[in-house]
Amino acid sequence: MDSERAAGLVQHCFSWPLCSRPPVSRAAPQPEKLQKNNITKKKKPVEELALDHVFGYRGFDCRNNLHYLNEGADIIFHTAAAGVVQNLSTGDPEPRPLGISKDSARSCGLALRSLPPHPHPPLTRHVSPPGSQSFYLEHTDDILCLTVNQHPKYRNVVATSQIGRRVLMQPGSSTLSGNIGRGKGTTPSIHVWDAMTKHTLSMLRCFHSKGVNYINFSATGKLLVSVGVDPEHTITVWRWQEGAKVASRGGHLERIFVVEFRPDSDTQFVSVGVKHMKFWTLAGSALLYKKGVIGSMEAAKMQTMLSVAFGAPRRSDPGHVSISPLWFLTEEQVSGAGGQGRGAVPVPVWTVSLCLQNNLTFTGAINGDVYVWKDHFLIRLVAKAHTGPVFTMYTTLRDGLIVTGGKERP
């Protein structure tokens, strides 16, 4: 091959790719689809999305946050930042007077739509489709606690509160700054709202910087007590309708799990938690407490208390307290009462013969024992009522039955 022909081939190999590839400039404009401020790009507004159903329930770090409403027709609970009201009825979703069937009304010559209004709201109820849910979505972060006002005057009034800001130390700085994902650094607030209309009735701006982990209404429904997850676990009493703080005080240096008003009092409540129990009294704008006293009772020591209940006001021998197991609900009975039977465990039911005189308290311990207190003194210990922690207790105030629920261990 001669030198001229070889030089021509080398020139062709270097020139062909450069000639076939189009010139590229870094200053060339971006395609229309990649432009950030493209006004022609269609975006669906978020307002078009509506929450329809929520799957899940927060129970791993909460207490007493699942309640019945409307005589068992609905349940209320929370998960994430939503308060959820779920309908359990299986009947006709059409609104109708309670206690009067359609056939009975027609036989009496009455048209349901022409029935006269009644001054009390419980006369009629709008029944939602079975399984449907409605939501309270005014919280800015995950809800940690929920309670329902038990006074008839405040029917379906619910209170919820949320987690607070997470305080972080900035690198290279000696100052603290609040940083929260969704709440934009807002302090937690307690929302009091109507479970049927989802309207906010009151909003309590509290100073529990890290959140509120338990709330409870008083006997008359006018007061609300809250516990923070701050280092001192501050306890605060509120007049929720006025949005005013009545009193506040550090609860305990260890975590408080439950704080409950006595069922007949606006001034006395009990708090339980890690290795402690306190009996509180609201005196004007001050909170006073007495620690639970174990005394010299054999085999008794202060345990971590997880639940609390109050006895029924029955009159009997003032010096005698008798506690004995009445029956146990089996797995079949639990599932027959409306559950699915999965994971159901026997639930002890205790009968109590006592004279309350408004001073008996029952607490469930982490080791399965049930403690009975009179005033702030321990008077009885029911050893191994459960084989595991007693997470919940409930007293039927009319007949003096105490139902306890625990995590049983094999």
Q: Residue 134: pLDDT above 60?
A: yes
Cα separation of 206 and 83, whole Å? 19
pLDDT score, position 38? 61
**Torsions phi, psi of 10, nearest 5?**
-60, -40
- What the block records as the tokens of 223 is 């007061």
> Domain residue spans in the chain?
51-91+121-169+176-291, 309-410
For 19-52, what is each residue's pLDDT tens digit?
Answer: 455 555 556 666 766 666 665 556 666 667 889 9
pLDDT score, position 299? 75
Is-contact 270 279, C-beta < 8 A?
Answer: yes
Cα separation of 270 and 148, whole Å? 18
Number of Cβ within a 10 Å radius of residue 245: 16
Q: Name which CATH class applies to 51-91+121-169+176-291.
A: mainly beta
Maximum separation of any 2 CA atoms in the chain, in Å: 128
Lowest-pLDDT choice from 121-130, 171-180, 222-231, 299-308: 171-180
Q: Residue 159: pLDDT above 50?
A: yes
Closest CA to 154 of 98, 202, 190: 202
Residue 225 contacts by C-beta under 8 Å, 6 or more apart in sequence?
Answer: 215, 216, 218, 235, 236, 237, 238, 259, 261, 269
Cα separation of 375 and 358, whole Å? 9
Phi-psi region of 225 (alpha: psi -120 to 50; beta: other; left: phi over 0): beta
Q: Which residues pair with 146 in a beta bridge?
A: 160
Average pLDDT (266-275) is 96
pLDDT score, position 127? 54
- What the block records as the tokens of 396 is 């039927």
pLDDT band at 130 (very low <50, low <70, confident <90, very high): confident
Q: Reduce the DSSP state of residue 324 to 3 states and report it.
A: strand
Instruction: Look at the pTM and tell me if it is higher than 0.75.
Output: no
Block residue for tokens 């229309």: 32
For 372-394, what is each residue's pLDDT tens digit?
Answer: 999 899 999 999 999 999 999 98
Q: Residue 339: pLDDT above 80?
A: no
Q: Residue 276: pLDDT above 90?
A: yes
